[in-house]
Structures are given as structure tokens and as C-alpha cells.
Structure 1
Amino acid sequence: MNRIEDLITALQKKEEEKNKNTVLWILAIIGAVAAVAGIAYAVYRFFTPDYLEDFDEDFDEDFDDYFEDDDEDEDK
């Protein structure tokens, strides 16, 4: 009877290891996909031009021009 219980216990342990191995593979795949997505996002951000920087420079020039016009009006 002990021999049958040992076989059943061994089969249960093998099944548990198989389930743990499956979970480990799933987590590894999710991690790999997340790493690739992170790298792709970083490359995208690196190569995408920064349009806001150009807008800020244009805005500053327009802003300075407005105040220069006011200074000229006050001098008159």
C-alpha cells in the first residue's frame, strides 16, 4: 500500500512542478514583451522631434516683440 501512495505522491509533485513551470514561462513571456515595448517606446521618444520646443521659441519671440512695441509707444 505504501508503494501506491508513493507513486501517487510522486505524480502529484510532478503535476505541481509542471504547473509552476507553466506559470514561470508565462511570466517570462510577459516580462519579455514588456521589455520590448519599453525599448520601442524609448527609441520612439528619442527619434521623435520635439515640436513643443519650437513652439516655445516662437512664443518667446512673439512675446518679446509685443513688449518692444509697448516700449516704443511709451517713448512717444
Structure 2
Amino acid sequence: MNKIDELMTLLQKKERDDDKCKNTIIWILAIVGAVAAVAGIAYAVYRFFTPDYLEDFEDDFDDDFDDYFDDEDAEEN
């Protein structure tokens, strides 16, 4: 009976050690996930508040392009 008790004790100890290892991995993954979520939110806020300079450039280019053709039409008349 004594040998069986020793085996049971060893198995229970191993299970507790495995649980500690699993808990550590879960905590590490939770922290990494939280940091990634905060970084994603910060990037989304940055993209939302940063002006789109390319859009303004394209509008200016279109205005200049239209003005050029308006000038040509005026010269032909």
C-alpha cells in the first residue's frame, strides 16, 4: 500500500507542476495579447486623427489640370 501512495503523491506533484507551467504560459500570452490590443488601438487612433495629405495633393492637381484646359479654351476663342 505504501508504494501506491508514493506513486499517487508523485503523480499529484507532477500535475501541480504542470499546472504552474500552464498558468505561466497563459499569463505571458495574456500580457502579449493586451499589449498588442493597446498597440492596435493606438495605431487606429493615430490613423483616424492624422490628416490625409495625398488627398489634398490630388485635389490641387485636378484643379490645376482643369485650369490648364480652361486657359486653352480661352486662347482658341
- Give TM-score scaled by structure 2 length: 0.88
State the partner residue of 2:68. Answer: 66
Please state how far the C-alpha of 1:8 moved relative to its aligned partner. Answer: 0.5
Query: What runs of 5+ residues in structure 1 fail to find an aligned partner?
Result: none
The runs of at least 4 aligned residues of structure 1 exceeding 4 Å deviation read none
CA distance in 2, matches of 1:3, 1:74: 107
CA-to-partner distance for each residue in 1:37-57, whole Å, 9 max, x for gaps? 011001111111111121111
Which residue identity is paired with 1:62?
D
Tell me the residue number matched to 2:14: 12
- Determine what percentage of the aligned residue pairs are the same residue: 61
Mapped to 2, the partners of 1:74 and 1:22 lie a distance apart of 80
Q: TM-score, normalised by structure 1?
A: 0.89
Q: How far apart, CA to CA, are the structure 2 residues paired with 1:66 and 1:29?
A: 58
Aligned length: 75
Unaligned runs of 5+ in 2: none
User: Residue 72 of structure 1: CA displacement?
Assistant: 2.7
